[in-house]
C-alpha cells in the first residue's frame, strides 16, 4: 500500500516564514494531568511528549493551557511568565526529536464554572482577549512553532460560537456572524501580539450535537470568518463536555461526539470536516477515531482534509507514523476507543493512562530490557491478553517461554468482549497481540490445560499464572430446576440460539447491559429486563460509553430495575426485595441469564513456591478487572522477572 500521501510535507502560515510540517499527521491536544500542582511542565510530561515526537509525528499540539489562573489539578497554565522556562524545555525537546510543536491555549469558561457569554461584560470580554494575546506571546517566547486557540468543546470561545450558550443581543450575539466575533477578535489580538509569521490554528466544533447548539450550517458561517481574520489552519472537532452546573448545556451524550466510544465507526467525522474544507483555502485537519493508516491516507487522497489529527491513537501507539513509514503498519497497536483514558480516570483527576499501552503516561519509567538466559524456562498458563503480553516480553528477553491455553484458540475473554454490538474494535487488540506473539516466536500450546501438579513435574524456572476469570455462579440464589437459565458468556459465545418470551438478566453491570443489547439486536429476545442490586445499571462502565449504551437500551424498551436484591428464582419469577425499604419485589421470567460478575480461576501455587519456582499471578487471575490491568500486569511480568 502506498502511504506516501501521509508523508507529504505541508507549509502552513501566511507570512514570509512558513512552517513546514514534515508530514500530514498531527497529534491532537490531550490533557494528560502530567503537569505539577502549579500547572507547570514536569520531566514526566517532557518524556511523554518526547516519546510521541520520536514516533515520527509531523506536529504535536501540546494540551490545553489555561490563560486565566484557577484552581488547577495538574493542568498546564500559561497565565504567567513563570511558565515560560519549562515550556521552552518542552518545546525544544519535541523539536529535537523531529516534530513541529504548537500549544493549545484556552479559557475554560462555563465548563469550569466561570461566567458564560450571556453575562460577561464588554470590559471582561476585552480583558479575556488580552489574556489570550499575553498567553500567545508566552507560547512564542517559549519557542513553539505556533499556537492553537481552543474554540471547540464548550469552553469559553466555543460557548460564544454556540447559540445554546450565547443569547446576547449586542455585537457578540444574535446571529452566527456576531457569535463568531469573540473568536475573530481573539485571532486578531493574538496576531497583533505574535506578528504575522506565527501560525494560528483554530479548533472549532463542526456541530455541538446538542439541541439548540451549534450546527454544521453555523460552523460553515464561522469558518470563512476565521480564515479572513487570519487563522492559518482549522482543526475540526465536535461535541460539548460536561457543564457541571447545567447538564442541558453539555452532557455525556454530547461528550461522546467529542471523545467518541468504540460504538462510533472509524473516521466517522470526516464528512463534516470536508464540508468545512470546501469553504476555505487554508488547511483543515480532522480527527475522530482515526486509528487506521488506510483511512488516514484515503482522507487525504480524497481531499477531505489536509491534515490528520490523531488523538487517542497517539496514546495507544506513539510510533503510529513511524511504523507506517517503515512498512510496519501491521505492528500498530490500535486505539480501541474504550475511553479508559478519558472516562472515570479523567474525571477523578488522575494522570493519563491507556488500556492498551502499558507505558502511556509512564514514559519516565525504567524499561531496560534485561537479557535472560535461554536455559531459564518459563511456563505461561493462560492465553488471554495478560498471558500473551507476558509471553511476548519474556521471549524478547531470551527466556525459553512456553505458553499453554486450554481452549483451541487464544484470546480468553477478549473474544467475548468483542461480540456485543459496537465492540468489534476490541478484536484489533487481540489480532495485534497474536501477531506479536507469533513474531516474537513464543511457543504456543493450544488445547493444553495446565495443572499445578504438571508445573511441579516440569520444574520450570518460573510460572506466570494468567488463567483469567470465569463467571460467578450465585450459590446463594436458588434457581428452580425447570427455569431456562444461561450464563451470560454462553449467550455471547453462541451456544444459545433463542430464549423465552420473558428474559430477565440477573446482575446489572456493563456485561449485563451489553448482553441485553446483543440479545435485542440478534432478535433472540425482545421482552427484556435487567435486575441490579446497586442504584445504577452499568455503573462499572466509563461514563461516555455508558450513556450511549443506556440510551440504546431505553430505545429498545429494555426494563432496567435497580435497587433489587435477588433472593430466588421460583414459580416463573425472579423474587427479591427493594434494597431501600425491604419491600418484596417480583418480576415474571421464563428465562434468566446470569451476569453477576467474574471471579478468578483458581490455581493453587503454594507447593510451586515451596519448590523454588518463581510464581506471578497477572490479569484477572490475580483479581478480575479489565483490559488495562491485564495488559499492564502482563507487561510488568515480562519486564521484571528476575533471571538470577
- Chain residues in the site for ligand SF4 (CB under 6 A): 312, 315-316, 335-341, 354-356
Q: Is the CB of 293 or the CB of 469 nearer to ligand FAD?
A: 469
Q: How many residues bind ligand FAD (CB under 6 A)?
A: 35
Only one of the segments 106-114, 187-195, 378-386, 635-643 lies at the binding site for ligand FAD (rule: CB under 6 A); that segment is 378-386
The option from ligand FMN, ligand FAD, ligand SF4, none interacting with 316 (CB < 5 to 8 A, set by class) reads: ligand SF4
| Helices (H), ranges, 286-412 | 293-301, 312-316, 320-325, 344-347, 385-397
What contacts 209, CB < 8 A, 6 or more positions away? 238, 239, 240, 253, 254, 257
The option from ligand FMN, ligand FAD, ligand SF4, none interacting with 356 (CB < 5 to 8 A, set by class) reads: ligand SF4
Widest Cα–Cα separation across the chain: 83
The option from ligand FAD, ligand SF4, ligand FMN, none interacting with 407 (CB < 5 to 8 A, set by class) reads: ligand FAD
Told to check if 417 binds ligand FAD by CB under 6 A, we report yes
SS3 content of the chain, % helix, strand, coil (to 5): 35, 20, 45
**Options 155, 263, 319, 635, the catalytic residue:** 155
- Measured CA to CA, the distance from residue 238 to residue 255 in angstroms comes to 9
CA distances in angstroms from 641 to 204, 614, 638, listed in the order given: 48, 9, 6
Told to check if 393 binds ligand FAD by CB under 6 A, we report no
Active site residue 635: no
Per-residue contact flags (x/-) with ligand FMN for residues 10 to 49, judged by CB under 6 A? ------------------xxxx------------------
Q: Is the CB of 148 or the CB of 593 nearer to ligand FMN?
A: 148
Region 428-467 residues binding ligand FAD, contact defined as CB under 6 A: 449-450, 466-467
- Distance of closest approach, residue 502 Cβ to ligand SF4, in angstroms: 36
Element (H, E) at 273: helix 270-277
Per-residue contact flags (x/-) with ligand FMN for residues 195 to 234, judged by CB under 6 A? --------x-------------------------------
The option from ligand SF4, ligand FAD, ligand FMN, none interacting with 384 (CB < 5 to 8 A, set by class) reads: ligand FAD
Q: Phi then psi for 102, rounded to 5 degrees?
A: -125, 160
Residue 297 contacts residue 3 (beta carbons within 8 Å): yes
- Distance of closest approach, residue 494 Cβ to ligand FAD, in angstroms: 13
CA distances in angstroms from 257 to 50, 149, 348, 545, listed in the order given: 29, 20, 21, 11
Residue 577 contacts residue 584 (beta carbons within 8 Å): yes
Place of cell 504567567: 80
Q: Is the CB of 339 or the CB of 413 nearer to ligand FMN?
A: 339
Q: Is the CB of 1 or the CB of 408 nearer to ligand FAD?
A: 408
Q: How many residues bind ligand FMN (CB under 6 A)?
A: 25
Residue 301, class by beta-carbon neighbours within 10 Å (0-12 exposed, 13-18 middle, 19+ buried)?
Answer: exposed
- Measured CA to CA, the distance from residue 549 to residue 570 in angstroms comes to 30
Q: Is the CB of 261 or the CB of 508 nearer to ligand SF4?
A: 261
- Distance of closest approach, residue 629 Cβ to ligand SF4, in angstroms: 12
What contacts 30, CB < 8 A, 6 or more positions away? 63, 311, 312, 314, 315, 341, 352
Using the Cα atoms of residue 310, residue 316, residue 318 and residue 323 in order, give the sign of their dihedral. Answer: negative
Residue 229 contacts residue 187 (beta carbons within 8 Å): yes
Q: State the Cα torsion 222-223-224-225 to the nearest 10°.
A: 50
Q: Is the CB of 386 or the CB of 592 nearer to ligand FAD?
A: 386
Region 104-143 residues binding ligand FMN, contact defined as CB under 6 A: 104
Element (H, E) at 503: strand 503-506
CA 306 to chain centre: 24
Residue 210 contacts residue 254 (beta carbons within 8 Å): yes
Q: Which residue is nearest to ligand FMN (CB)?
A: 311
The option from ligand FMN, ligand FAD, ligand SF4, none interacting with 251 (CB < 5 to 8 A, set by class) reads: none
- Distance of closest approach, residue 529 Cβ to ligand FAD, in angstroms: 19
Q: Is the CB of 262 or the CB of 499 nearer to ligand FMN?
A: 262
Q: What residues pair up with 469 in beta bridges, in sequence order?
A: 600
- Distance of closest approach, residue 315 Cβ to ligand SF4, in angstroms: 4
- Distance of closest approach, residue 628 Cβ to ligand FMN, in angstroms: 14
Told to check if 384 binds ligand FAD by CB under 6 A, we report yes
- Measured CA to CA, the distance from residue 619 to residue 467 in angstroms comes to 8
Q: Is the CB of 70 or the CB of 625 nearer to ligand FAD?
A: 625
Strands 559-561 and 528-531: parallel
C-alpha cell at 552: 440504546
Place of cell 451549534: 214
C-alpha cell at 472: 460467578
Told to check if 412 binds ligand FAD by CB under 6 A, we report yes
CA 10 to chain centre: 28
Q: Which of 393, 392, 406 is nearest to 442 (CA)?
A: 392
- Measured CA to CA, the distance from residue 239 to residue 216 in angstroms comes to 12
Told to check if 542 binds ligand FAD by CB under 6 A, we report no
Told to check if 146 binds ligand FAD by CB under 6 A, we report no
**Could you say which of 52, 97, 179, 342 contacts ligand FMN (CB under 6 A)?**
342
Told to check if 311 binds ligand FMN by CB under 6 A, we report yes
Residue 406 contacts residue 447 (beta carbons within 8 Å): yes
What contacts 559, CB < 8 A, 6 or more positions away? 528, 529, 530, 587
- Measured CA to CA, the distance from residue 134 to residue 138 in angstroms comes to 6
Told to check if 383 binds ligand FAD by CB under 6 A, we report yes
Q: Is the CB of 64 or the CB of 519 nearer to ligand FMN?
A: 64
Region 350-389 residues binding ligand FMN, contact defined as CB under 6 A: 352
The option from ligand FMN, ligand SF4, ligand FAD, none interacting with 627 (CB < 5 to 8 A, set by class) reads: ligand FAD
Q: Is the CB of 5 or the CB of 421 nearer to ligand FAD?
A: 421
| Helices (H), ranges, 77-195 | 84-96, 122-141, 156-161, 176-179, 181-194
- Distance of closest approach, residue 264 Cβ to ligand SF4, in angstroms: 11
Q: Is the CB of 335 or the CB of 385 nearer to ligand SF4?
A: 335
- Distance of closest approach, residue 18 Cβ to ligand FAD, in angstroms: 44
Task: Report how many helices (DSSP H) and strands (DSSP E) the chain contains, helices first.
Answer: 22, 25
Q: What residues pair up with 105 in beta bridges, in sequence order?
A: 65, 149
Region 312-351 residues binding ligand FAD, contact defined as CB under 6 A: 338
Contacts with ligand FMN, residue ranges (CB under 6 A): 28-31, 63-64, 104, 150, 152-153, 203, 237, 259, 287-290, 310-313, 341-342, 346, 352
Active site residues: 155
Contacts with ligand FAD, residue ranges (CB under 6 A): 338, 355, 381-387, 404-407, 412-414, 416-417, 449-450, 466-469, 489, 492, 511, 601, 619-621, 625-627, 630
Amino acid at each position: 500500500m502506498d502511504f506516501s500521501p501521509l508523508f507529504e510535507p505541508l507549509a502552513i502560515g501566511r507570512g514570509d516564514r512558513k512552517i513546514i510540517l514534515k508530514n500530514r499527521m498531527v497529534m491532537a491536544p490531550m490533557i494528560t494531568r502530567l503537569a505539577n500542582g502549579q500547572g507547570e511542565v514536569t520531566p514526566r510530561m517532557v518524556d511523554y511528549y518526547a516519546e510521541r515526537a520520536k514516533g515520527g509525528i509531523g506536529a504535536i499540539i501540546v494540551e490545553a493551557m489555561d490563560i486565566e489562573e484557577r484552581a488547577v489539578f495538574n493542568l498546564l497554565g500559561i497565565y504567567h511568565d513563570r511558565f515560560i522556562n519549562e515550556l521552552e524545555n518542552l518545546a525544544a525537546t519535541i523539536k529535537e526529536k523531529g516534530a513541529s510543536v504548537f500549544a493549545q491555549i484556552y479559557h475554560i469558561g462555563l465548563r469550569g464554572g466561570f461566567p458564560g457569554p450571556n453575562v460577561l461584560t464588554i470590559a471582561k470580554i476585552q480583558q479575556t482577549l488580552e489574556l489570550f494575546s499575553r498567553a500567545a506571546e508566552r507560547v512564542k517566547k517559549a519557542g513553539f512553532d505556533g499556537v492553537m486557540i481552543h474554540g471547540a468543546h464548550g469552553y469559553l470561545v466555543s460557548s460564544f460560537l454556540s447559540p445554546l450558550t450565547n443569547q446576547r443581543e449586542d455585537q457578540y450575539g444574535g446571529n452566527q456572524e456576531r457569535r463568531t466575533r469573540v473568536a475573530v477578535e481573539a485571532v486578531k489580538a493574538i496576531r497583533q501580539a505574535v506578528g504575522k509569521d506565527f501560525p494560528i490554528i483554530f479548533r472549532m466544533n463542526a456541530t455541538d450535537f446538542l439541541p439548540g447548539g451549534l450546527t454544521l450550517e453555523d460552523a460553515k458561517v464561522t469558518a470563512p470568518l476565521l480564515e479572513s481574520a487570519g487563522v492559518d489552519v482549522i482543526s475540526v472537532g465536535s461535541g460539548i463536555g460536561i457543564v457541571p452546573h447545567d447538564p442541558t448545556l453539555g452532557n455525556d451524550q454530547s461528550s461522546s461526539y467529542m471523545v467518541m466510544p468504540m460504538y462510533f465507526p472509524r473516521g466517522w467525522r470526516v464528512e463534516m470536516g470536508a464540508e468545512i474544507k470546501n469553504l476555505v483555502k487554508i488547511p483543515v485537519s480532522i480527527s475522530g477515531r482515526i486509528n487506521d493508516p488506510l483511512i488516514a491516507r484515503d482522507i487525504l487522497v480524497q481531499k477531505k482534509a489536509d491534515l490528520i489529527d490523531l488523538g487517542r491513537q497517539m496514546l495507544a501507539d506513539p510510533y503510529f507514523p513511524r511504523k507506517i513509514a517503515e512498512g510496519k503498519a501491521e505492528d500498530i497497536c490500535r486505539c480501541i476507543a474504550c475511553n479508559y483514558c478519558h472516562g472515570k480516570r479523567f474525571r477523578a483527576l488522575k494522570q493519563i493512562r491507556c488500556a492498551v499501552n502499558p507505558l502511556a503516561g509512564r514514559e519516565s519509567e525504567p524499561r531496560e530490557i534485561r537479557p535472560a538466559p535461554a536455559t531459564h524456562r518459563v511456563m505461561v498458563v493462560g492465553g488471554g491478553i495478560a498471558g500473551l503480553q507476558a509471553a511476548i516480553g519474556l521471549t524478547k528477553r531470551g527466556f525459553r517461554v512456553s505458553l499453554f491455553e486450554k481452549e483451541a484458540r487464544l484470546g480468553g475473554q477478549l473474544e467475548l468482549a468483542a461480540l456485543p454490538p459496537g465492540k468489534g474494535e476490541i478484536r484489533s487488540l487481540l489480532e495485534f497481540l497474536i501477531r506479536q506473539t507469533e513474531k516474537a516466536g513464543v511457543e504456543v500450546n493450544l488445547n493444553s490445560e495446565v495443572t499445578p501438579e504438571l508445573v511441579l513435574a516440569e520444574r520450570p524456572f518460573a510460572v506466570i499464572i494468567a488463567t483469567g476469570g470465569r463467571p460467578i455462579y450465585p450459590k446463594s440464589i436458588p434457581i428452580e430446576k425447570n427455569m431456562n437459565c444461561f450464563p451470560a458468556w454462553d449467550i455471547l459465545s453462541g451456544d444459545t440460539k433463542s430464549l423465552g418470551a420473558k428474559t430477565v438478566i440477573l446482575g446489572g453491570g456493563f456485561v449485563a447491559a451489553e448482553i441485553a443489547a446483543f440479545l435485542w439486536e440478534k432478535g433472540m429476545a425482545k421482552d427484556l429486563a435487567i435486575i441490579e442490586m446497586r442504584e445504577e445499571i452499568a455503573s462499572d462502565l466509563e461514563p461516555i460509553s455508558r450513556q450511549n449504551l443506556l440510551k440504546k437500551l431505553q430505545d429498545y424498551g429494555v426494563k432496567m430495575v435497580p435497587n433489587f436484591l435477588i433472593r430466588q428464582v421460583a414459580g416463573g419469577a425472579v423474587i427479591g426485595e427493594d434494597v431501600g425499604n425491604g419491600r418484596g419485589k417480583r418480576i415474571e421470567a421464563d428465562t434468566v441469564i446470569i451476569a453477576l460478575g467474574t471471579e478468578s480461576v483458581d490455581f493453587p501455587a503454594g507447593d510451586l513456591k515451596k519448590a523454588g519456582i518463581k510464581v506471578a499471578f497477572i490479569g484477572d487471575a490475580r483479581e478480575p478487572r479489565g483490559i488495562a490491568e491485564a495488559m499492564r500486569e502482563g507487561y510488568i511480568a515480562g519486564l521484571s522477572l528476575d533471571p538470577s
